[in-house]
């Protein structure tokens, strides 16, 4: 009669042979648990006591900003870059379409015409127009533009 080994028999699969021990499972679980506890210390939404992270307080530099070097910061930068390209494309379309010229010779276009042309390019025209106005690139009357009712609002390209 043979004595049993400390290791269980291997689990055979079509692709691999894997030997699993209780000790290895326990070590993996403990490592995951330690990493999770450390992560939760830095999670402001965790109920595991007070977070130990040093988040800036209201009024301090960096408040409301993602942590330097984080994926959140990277995604924000990528989004900012993408929106910047969309605004540039919008200005180019207005410049190309600008049938009339404003008081100082800037290209102008009516919202309805721009909407009809731009709808095939992007479904975010109004949001991009608001961003371009915030950056001082375009000017138009009103807070928001609505298809149909604001079709005759004139949009002026400032730069």
Say which CATH number the domain at 148 has. 1.10.10.1540
Judge whether residue 119 has pLDDT over 60.
yes
**29 or 120, higher pLDDT:** 29
| Residue 61 is assigned to a structural domain of this protein | no
87 and 49 belong to one structural domain:
no
Residue 20, burial from CB neighbour count under 10 angstroms (0-12, 13-18, 19+): exposed
Which of 156, 152, 102 has the alpha carbon at shortest distance from 129?
Answer: 156
| Residue 100 is assigned to a structural domain of this protein | yes
44 and 86 belong to one structural domain:
no
So what's the pLDDT on residue 41?
79
**DSSP state, residue 76:** H
48 and 97 belong to one structural domain:
no
**58 or 42, higher pLDDT:** 58
87 and 48 belong to one structural domain:
no
Percent of the chain with pLDDT over 90: 19
User: CA 60 from chain center: how many Å?
Assistant: 24
Number of folded domains that form the chain = 2
96 and 46 belong to one structural domain:
no
pLDDT grade for 74, boundaries at 50, 70 and 90 = very high
CA distance 22 to 12: 18
pLDDT grade for 44, boundaries at 50, 70 and 90 = confident
| Residue 4 is assigned to a structural domain of this protein | no
94 and 141 belong to one structural domain:
yes
| Residue 87 is assigned to a structural domain of this protein | yes
153 and 88 belong to one structural domain:
yes
Least confident window among 21-35, 53-67, 73-87, 126-140: 53-67
pLDDT grade for 65, boundaries at 50, 70 and 90 = confident
Residue ending a domain, among 7, 36, 53, is 53
What is the span of the domain harbouring residue 119? 82-157
Which of 109, 100, 115 has the alpha carbon at shortest distance from 138?
Answer: 109
49 and 86 belong to one structural domain:
no
Write down the mean pLDDT value for the chain. 80
**Beta strands per DSSP E along the chain:** 11-12, 17-18, 100-101, 107-110, 138-139, 154-157
153 and 86 belong to one structural domain:
yes
| Residue 77 is assigned to a structural domain of this protein | no
**64 or 119, higher pLDDT:** 64
| Residue 69 is assigned to a structural domain of this protein | no
């Amino acid at each position: 009669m043979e004595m049993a080994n400390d290791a269980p028999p291997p689990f055979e699969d079509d692709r691999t042979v894997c030997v699993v021990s209780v000790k290895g499972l326990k070590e993996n679980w403990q490592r995951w648990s330690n990493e999770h506890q450390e992560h939760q210390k830095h999670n402001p939404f965790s109920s595991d006591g007070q977070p130990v992270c040093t988040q800036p307080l209201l009024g301090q530099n960096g408040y409301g900003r993602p942590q330097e070097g984080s994926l959140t910061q990277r995604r924000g930068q990528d989004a900012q870059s993408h929106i910047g390209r969309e605004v540039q494309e919008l200005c180019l379309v207005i410049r190309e379409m600008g049938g009339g010229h404003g008081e100082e010779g800037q290209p102008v276009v009516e919202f309805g015409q721009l909407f009809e042309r731009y709808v095939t390019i992007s479904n975010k025209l109004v949001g991009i127009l608001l961003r371009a106005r915030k950056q001082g690139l375009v000017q138009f009357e009103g807070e928001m533009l609505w298809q149909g009712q604001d079709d005759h609002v004139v949009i002026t390209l400032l730069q």
